[in-house]
């Protein structure tokens, strides 16, 4: 056994691994918790709806144009859905509940056929006042929605106030109502 | 009933781990040293209990108990037996239980047989092992209980991901886990040694079999994983530098470095601090890899079971264990006494060089894997692939392989250049001749494959040099192990270089009856028809391939469709000859009724995996040699003790 | 490195230092090399509008992510080369690919193409289609963020 050799430099070098590891931790923490998904929603919050005018997707409801959102100063929900989308079916009862509470809901059917939409509405209920038909996902992309279903809270001036990504669950209803109330002030 | 029993046993094992940690920590204080006697039996019992819990889970899967959530979500009564078994660990919860099981069994095994280490270091090691296991117990019991029941039994299970319904992949993860967990033992040894400041040859000798064992399994796991990716992904490549692959490569690099520095410490009592640090780093890389794969922070072609909350949990474990260990290292490293010295020109130096180069490659792979994450934090999206990894890692790999050819013939402590002139000259000449041949006959070839083709034969020759002048019958087994492993590296390198230099590819739309020339093969599409397997249906092509006009061989590439759960997978067909492989993939039917077919002729490509297998075999020989010697020594010590006892009477 | 004279045994005090300096130097070298190579070799991710606005230098490996335009997939007479357009809400980029397309590569769905620009055509070596509903390439997940930024900068 040799004697301990006191040396200052190793004293610094032995902390190097810990330093590197700390840098790694910082990096992955940023990567894990960087609110990338929330940013998607926030990017459009406070922006006006882009102008669009969609033809009707169903026989018994009119189509959907941007002007609707500015006509009476009331906040509304804009629901992006499709008959081929499974979570949309799961979401239907919650939309129905919201409609029953007097919330005005307008829909945009994405890449859909009229007969499919009719079948969907017949089976799962029709909470919509108007339904626009967006065959090329143009409106969907323009309002910053990346999937179906998504729901937007639009205030009386046509400004996007909240974006809900994914289906509205039972427990999300109070949140949606609160956002609507905030948008109505 | 079995599920509740399994859960209860798991809780008991966790409680024992707490006891093992507390008793171990207390036993290191003089006042409570009498607790030391508790630690070993507790560690053994803990291992046995967890094994029972894992057996319970296997039983649930084999009997397809659909009232258990995990079984219902990941299995199906119509699945073949072997995949029911593999379903046990083919999911997050089951794989974590398997991890804990292997870890605790290994801890129990250490407690049972390890006799060389000073008692204090062993107690500290077992306490460290319990500390690490506890994190995983917490993970299992609090966040991913594998025995959770459904409120009502499911009518039928959801099945196993079709990509995982493959015999190779079914046994691939457990192989890697054994490797990772073996490194956790090395980690615990390093912690134990740091706590007691007792770093010496005894520590290295106790740790070495575990490192060797872990390294063998990692080698096998990586080799098998590479082969799996090669034949299931249908892309013809054997290594994609995918985050999941890198996650298994990084621990291997660290373990390889650790293995070599362990040898220096065991034989020469040098590189003490460095070895301890590598012990920490090797297991850190296992955990970092697991974290990167499981958290979904990096996407990959292999991505499965991605869940940010799990990522958070693993991250917390990572921060506690690795941060803690590195902190301990920082505090204690300068108080570990310096080891023996050596000259610049010595075997030690060559091993130091090997270590630093391996760490360099490790750093490069780690940086490349994490770089997309770094730029994404700054708002730029990039991906990093072979154009980065191949040349940059070669900058370190090529000098390393050159030194690898010479290192084993150097003497410990110090050596003279004149003594080994021949040992340097012979491989150098072989390599130079190979390079010349490659450049003259096959040019143009890219730089890296050409260098590989040149270095591989030289390294192959050099790897046998340690045997020159030895009595072959009395040469210790570990020397043979080293020779075989180094030779395996040369073989694998040759396969990689040959694949890179000489592969030919043919992509064509074919009608039945059409032929194509692929390298030396003439391939003919004969027929395409449907076929049904146990739980899939497929379109199967019948392809005949004849090698330079010889007898044709029939190949059956398939496009499989799975029902439970729905999914698709291409099943490539391979024709292996001694000098290479023909690789056939069936694509889609075009609008005009022709079928897309893709063929590769890859000369000597199987050598990549033969080489990997040889490397693992070398490790196995070394391990057998070491263990045999340890056993012999133990028996001898026992005999002496017995004799003394008799004389005492 | 060696001579016939007695090789220098490193002085006792210095051995650790020399080893550490060597190791640290090699690792820093590895880091610098990695940083340099990454700046050269990392494949940047482009949306169609970004690719049109600021095309990468020809031959540089990049990735292009977007939607496969409906009705745009055309198979060439050789039966294995396809041409199609990848688009976002602003621009469309012609893409050529030779090979077997992934199962989930269909018109109207998302795709990430790995390859390089040749003239105005993007030549793809590899196509990554959306694996299933759960698997979305990380870049695609954030795609609407980038689009959002583009839209916002335009409305300003």
Kindly provide the ipTM of the predicted complex, given to two decimals. 0.75
pLDDT band at C57 (very low <50, low <70, confident <90, very high): confident
User: What is the C-alpha separation between A102 and A107, in angstroms, rounded?
Assistant: 16
For residues C88 and C131, state if they share a domain.
yes
What was the pLDDT predicted at C147? 37
Q: Does the pLDDT of residue A61 top 80, yes or no? A: yes
**Substitution target from C88, C145, C155 for chain A, most A beta carbons within 10 A:** C145
CATH code for the domain in which residue C72 is found: 2.40.50.140
Query: CB–CB of A116/A57 below 8 Å?
Result: no
> Closest-CA residue in chain C for B595?
C79
The count of domains in chain C is 2
Residue that has been written with the tokens 């607790």 in this structure: B35
Q: Which of B221, B75, B88, B89 is nearest to B158 (CA)?
A: B75
Verify whether the Cβ–Cβ distance B373 to A31 is below 8 Å: yes
Name the token pair of A102: 């007097």
Output DSSP code: residue B176: H
User: What does residue B182 show for φ and ψ, rounded to 5 degrees?
Assistant: -55, -40
Q: What is the mean pLDDT of residues C18-36?
A: 84
**Contact predicate A172/A162, CB 8 Å:** no
Look at residue B563 in the predicted model and tell me its pLDDT: 65
The whole-number average pLDDT for the span A78-103 is 83
- Torsion angles phi and psi, residue B528, rounded to 5: -135, 130
Query: Which residue stretches of chain B have pLDDT < 70?
Result: 158-166, 168-169, 296, 298-309, 563-567, 648-649
| pLDDT band at residue C2 under the 50/70/90 scheme | very low
Please name the member of A2, A18, A29 whose beta carbon is closest to the beta carbon of B338: A2
Collect all residues of chain A within an 8 Å Cβ-Cβ radius of residue C147: 141, 144
CATH class of A37-184: alpha beta
With CB atoms and an 8 Å threshold, state whether C145 touches A16: no
Partners of B270 on chain A (C-beta within 8 Å) are: none
Query: Is C17 within 8 Å of chain A by CB?
Result: yes
Q: Any idea which residue has 């998302």 for tokens?
A: C110
CB contact under 8 A, A27 and B323: no
Residue B278 near residue B257 (C-beta atoms within 8 A): yes
Dihedral pair phi/psi, residue C31, rounded to 5°:
-60, -45
- 3-state SS class at B592: coil
Cβ atoms of B223 and B256 closer than 8 Å: no
For residues B204 and A183, the model is more confident at B204
Query: What ranges do the domains of chain A cover?
Result: 37-184
- The pTM of the full predicted model, rounded to 2 decimals, is 0.79
C139 and C76, same domain (yes or no): yes
3-class secondary structure per residue, B359-390 = HHHHHHHHHHHHHHHHHHHCCCCEECCHHHHH
The B residues from 560 to 619 touching C (CB cutoff 8 Å) are 567-568, 570, 585, 587-588, 590-592, 594, 596, 598
C144 in contact with A, Cβ within 8 Å: yes
Which residue on chain C is closest to B414 by alpha carbon?
C7
Give me the pLDDT at residue C14, please.
Answer: 66
Nearest CB partner across the interface for C144, out of A111, A136, A146 = A146
Range of the domain at C59: 44-155
| Same-domain check for residues C52 and C26 | no
Nearest CA in chain C to A142: C89
Q: Which residue on chain A is closest to C16 by alpha carbon?
A: A10
Q: In this structure, are residues C81 and B580 in contact, taking their beta carbons and an 8 Å threshold?
A: no
Q: Place A10 in a pLDDT band, splitting at 50, 70 and 90.
A: low
> What is the pLDDT averaged over residues C43-52?
84
Is residue B452 within 8 A of residue B491, CB to CB? The reply is no
Lowest mean pLDDT among A27-31, A162-166, B32-36, C10-14: C10-14
Q: Is the pLDDT of residue A58 over 80?
A: yes
Q: How far is A150 from chain B (nearest CA, A)?
A: 22
On whether both C33 and C56 belong to a single domain, the answer is no
Q: Using CB atoms, which chains have 3+ pairs under 8 A with B?
A: A, C
Q: Looking at beta carbons, which residues of chain C come within 8 Å of B567?
A: 132
Is B385's Cβ below 8 Å from some Cβ in A?
A: no
| Domain membership flag for residue C6 | no
Could you tell me if C24 lies within 8 Å of chain B, comparing CB atoms?
no
**Does residue B205 belong to the interface with chain C, where contact is any CB pair within 8 Å?**
no
Question: C19 and C78, same structural domain?
Answer: no
Residue C36 counted as an annotated binding residue: no
Element (H, E) at B603: strand B595-603
Q: Where are the alpha helices (DSSP H) in B33-118?
A: 36-62, 69-74, 81-87, 92-113
Task: Indicate yes or no: CB of A7 within 8 angstroms of CB of C108.
Answer: no
Assess if residue C3 is contained within a domain: no
**A27 and B326: CB-CB below 8 Å?**
no
Q: Are residues C75 and C140 both part of a single domain?
A: yes
Pull the structure tokens for residue B375. Answer: 């730029």
* Cα within 13 Å of Cα(B141), Cβ side: 20
Residues from A in contact with C at Cβ < 8 Å? 2, 5, 7, 9-10, 13, 16, 36-37, 39-40, 43-44, 47, 50, 111, 136-138, 141-142, 144-146
Identify all chain A residues contacting C152, using CB atoms and an 8 Å cutoff: 43, 47
CA within 13 Å, CB half, B128: 28
The answer to whether the CB of B295 falls within 8 A of the CB of B308 is yes
Nearest C-alpha of chain B: how many angstroms from A24?
Answer: 9
Specify the higher pLDDT residue, A69 or B430. B430
Question: Would the CB atoms of C31 and B363 count as touching at under 8 Å?
Answer: yes
Q: What is the distance between the alpha carbons of residues B261 and B276, in angstroms, rounded to a whole number? A: 9
Assign A5 a pLDDT band (cuts: 50, 70, 90).
Answer: very low
In a domain, C134, yes or no: yes
Question: Nearest CB to A28: which of B280, B297, B335?
Answer: B297
Query: Per the CB < 8 Å rule, is A142 touching C16?
Result: no
Of B67, B46, B47, give the one whose Cα is nearest residue B2.
Answer: B67
Collect all residues from A whose CB is shorter than 8 A from any CB in B: 1-7, 10-11, 14-15, 17-18, 21-22, 24-25, 27-32, 34
**Nearest chain C CA: its distance from A101 CA (Å):** 32
Which residue of A lies nearest to C153 if distances are taken between CA atoms? A43
Question: Any CB–CB contact under 8 A between C9 and chain A?
Answer: no
Question: How far is it, in rounded angstroms, from Cα C125 to Cα C139?
Answer: 18
C117 shares a domain with C52: yes
> B15 at the A interface (CB within 8 A)?
no
C15's CB contacts (< 8 A; 6+ apart) are: B338, B341, B342
3-state secondary structure of C97: strand
**Is C44 among the annotated ligand-binding positions?**
no
CB distance from B311 to chain A under 8 Å? yes
Q: Which among B341, B355, B371 is the nearest to C10, CB-wise? A: B341
Residue C110 CB contacts under 8 Å (≥ 6 apart), including other chains:
C65, C66, C67, C68, C129, C130, C136, C137, C140, C143
């Amino acid at each position: 056994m040799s004697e301990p050799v006191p040396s200052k430099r190793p004293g610094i070098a032995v902390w190097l691994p810990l330093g590197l590891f700390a840098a790694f931790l910082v990096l992955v923490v940023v990567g894990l918790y960087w609110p990338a998904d929330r940013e998607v929603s926030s990017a459009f919050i406070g922006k006006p709806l882009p102008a669009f005018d969609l033809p009707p997707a169903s026989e018994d409801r009119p189509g959907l144009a941007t002007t609707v959102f500015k006509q009476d100063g009331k906040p509304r929900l804009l629901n992006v859905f499709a008959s081929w989308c499974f979570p949309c079916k799961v979401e239907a009862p919650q939309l129905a509940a919201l409609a029953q509470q007097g919330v005005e809901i307008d829909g945009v059917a994405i890449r859909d056929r009229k007969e499919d939409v009719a079948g969907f509405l017949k089976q799962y209920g029709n909470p919509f006042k108007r339904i626009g038909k967006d065959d090329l996902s143009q409106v969907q992309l323009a309002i910053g929605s990346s999937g179906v279903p998504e729901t937007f809270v639009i205030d009386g001036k046509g400004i996007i106030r909240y974006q809900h990504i994914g289906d509205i669950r039972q427990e999300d209803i109070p949140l949606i109502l609160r956002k609507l109330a905030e948008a109505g002030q | 009933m079995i599920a509740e029993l399994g859960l209860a046993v798991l809780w008991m094992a966790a409680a024992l781990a707490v006891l093992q940690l507390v008793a171990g920590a207390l036993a290191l204080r003089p006042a409570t040293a009498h607790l030391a006697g508790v630690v070993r039996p507790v560690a053994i019992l803990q291992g046995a209990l967890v094994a029972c819990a894992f057996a319970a889970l296997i039983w649930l899967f084999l009997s397809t108990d659909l009232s258990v959530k995990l079984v219902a979500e990941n299995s199906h009564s119509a699945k073949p037996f072997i995949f029911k078994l593999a379903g046990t660990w083919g999911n997050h919860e089951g794989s974590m239980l398997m991890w804990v099981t292997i870890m605790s069994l290994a801890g129990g095994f250490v407690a049972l047989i390890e006799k060389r280490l000073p008692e204090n270091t062993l107690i500290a090691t077992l306490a460290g092992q319990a500390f690490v296991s506890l994190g995983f117990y917490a993970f299992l019991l609090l966040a991913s209980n594998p025995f959770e029941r459904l409120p009502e039994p499911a009518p039928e299970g959801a099945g196993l991901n079709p990509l995982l319904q493959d015999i190779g992949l079914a046994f691939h993860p457990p192989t890697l886990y054994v490797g990772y967990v073996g490194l956790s033992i090395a980690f615990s040894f390093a912690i134990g040694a740091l706590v007691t400041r007792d770093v010496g040859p005894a520590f290295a000798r106790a740790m070495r079999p575990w490192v060797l064992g872990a390294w063998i399994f990692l080698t096998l796991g990586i080799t098998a994983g590479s082969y799996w990716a090669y034949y299931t992904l249908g892309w013809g490549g054997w290594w994609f530098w995918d985050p999941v692959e890198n996650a298994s490569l990084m621990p291997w690099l660290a373990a390889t470095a650790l293995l070599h520095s362990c040898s220096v410490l065991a034989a020469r009592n040098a590189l003490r601090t460095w070895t301890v640090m590598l012990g920490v780093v090797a297991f850190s890389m296992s955990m970092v890899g697991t974290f990167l794969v499981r958290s979904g922070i990096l996407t990959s072609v292999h991505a499965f079971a991605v869940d940010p909350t799990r990522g958070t949990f693993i991250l917390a474990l990572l921060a506690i264990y690795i941060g803690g260990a590195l902190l301990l290292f920082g505090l204690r490293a300068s108080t570990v006494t310096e080891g023996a010295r050596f000259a610049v020109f010595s075997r030690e130096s060559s091993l130091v060089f090997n270590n630093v180069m391996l760490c360099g490659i490790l750093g490069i792979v780690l940086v490349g894997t994490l770089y997309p994450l770094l730029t994404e934090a700054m708002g730029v999206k990039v991906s990093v692939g072979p154009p980065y990894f191949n040349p940059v890692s070669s900058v370190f790999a090529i000098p390393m392989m050159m030194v690898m050819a010479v290192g084993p013939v150097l003497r410990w402590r110090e050596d003279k250049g004149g003594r080994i002139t021949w040992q340097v000259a012979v491989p150098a000449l072989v390599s130079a001749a190979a390079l010349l041949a490659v450049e003259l006959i096959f040019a143009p070839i890219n730089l890296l494959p050409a260098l590989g083709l040149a270095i591989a034969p030289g390294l192959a020759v050099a790897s046998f040099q340690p045997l020159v002048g030895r009595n072959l019958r009395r040469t210790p087994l570990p020397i043979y192990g080293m020779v075989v492993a180094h030779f395996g590296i040369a073989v694998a390198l040759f396969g990689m270089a040959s694949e890179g230099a000489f592969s030919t590819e043919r992509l064509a739309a074919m009608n039945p009856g059409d032929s194509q020339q692929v390298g030396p093969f003439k391939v003919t599409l004969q027929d395409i028809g449907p076929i049904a397997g146990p739980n899939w249906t497929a379109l199967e092509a019948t392809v005949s391939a004849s090698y330079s006009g010889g007898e044709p061989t029939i190949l059956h590439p398939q496009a499989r469709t799975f029902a439970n759960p729905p999914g698709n997978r291409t099943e490539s067909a391979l024709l292996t000859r001694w000098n290479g492989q023909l690789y056939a993939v069936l694509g889609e039917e075009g609008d005009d009724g022709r079928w897309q077919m893709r063929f590769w002729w890859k000369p000597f490509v199987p050598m990549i995996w033969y080489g990997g297998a040889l490397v693992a075999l070398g490790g196995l020989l070394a391990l057998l040699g070491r263990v045999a010697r340890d056993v012999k020594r133990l028996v001898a010590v026992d005999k002496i003790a017995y004799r003394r006892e008799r004389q005492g009477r | 490195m060696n001579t016939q004279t007695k090789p220098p045994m490193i002085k006792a005090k210095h051995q650790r230092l020399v080893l550490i300096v060597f190791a640290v130097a090699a690792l820093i070298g590895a880091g610098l090399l990695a940083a340099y190579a990454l700046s050269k070799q990392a494949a940047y991710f482009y949306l169609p509008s970004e690719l049109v606005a600021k095309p990468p230098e020809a031959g540089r490996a990049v990735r292009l992510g977007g939607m496969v335009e409906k009705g745009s997939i055309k198979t060439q007479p050789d039966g294995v080369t396809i041409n199609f357009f990848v688009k976002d809400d602003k621009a469309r980029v012609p893409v050529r690919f030779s090979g077997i397309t992934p199962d989930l590569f269909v018109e109207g769905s998302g795709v990430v193409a790995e390859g390089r620009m040749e003239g105005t055509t993007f030549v793809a070596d590899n196509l990554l289609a959306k694996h299933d509903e759960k698997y979305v390439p990380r870049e695609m997940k954030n795609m609407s963020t980038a689009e959002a930024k583009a839209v916002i900068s335009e409305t300003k």
